[in-house]
Amino acid sequence: MNSGVCLTTDSFMHAMLYKFKSKAASDLIMLEPDGRRLLQIMTSDAPAKGIIEAAHLSAAISSLEAAVAQDTARMAQARQDAEIQDSDKNTEAVSLSRRAQPMLELLRKSHKADVDVVWGV
């Protein structure tokens, strides 16, 4: 059965990926929108290449944890509002918490080992 969707290798070659590296953990690969969102939370910027030095990992972890907590509260409120309105609309999306967990794990391992996290290099 043909779904009408044609994906070629060119489609995948043009998708930007972020590849985060640390000597303390396995590489973390994220699609560009997700990687950019997390970088903006952690660094207030989203450069294609960069480094979070070991000395700044604690601040990056705190920023990301605070954003996750805020997003979790927002999603809980949205679910509650949907229940009050008896809405059939699906309010579930992939939460920031789910997107951030692999990054938080990488940051925590790097912080514990006192090593930098780099990407785009």
| CA trace torsion 65, 69, 71, 74 (10° rounding) | -170
Cβ atoms within 10 Å, residue 111: 20
pLDDT at residue 1 in the model = 45
Tens-place pLDDT, residues 19-71: 999 999 999 999 999 999 999 999 988 888 999 999 999 999 999 999 999 99
Task: Tell me the average pLDDT across 73-87.
Answer: 78
Each domain of the chain, given as residue ranges in start order, spans 9-119
Output the pTM of the full model.
0.79
Question: Which of these, 75, 15, 6, 65, lies nearest to 38 by C-alpha position?
Answer: 65
pLDDT at residue 9 in the model = 47
Decide which of 98 and 86 is more confident: 98
- Retrieve residue 120's tokens: 């785009």
pLDDT at residue 3 in the model = 47
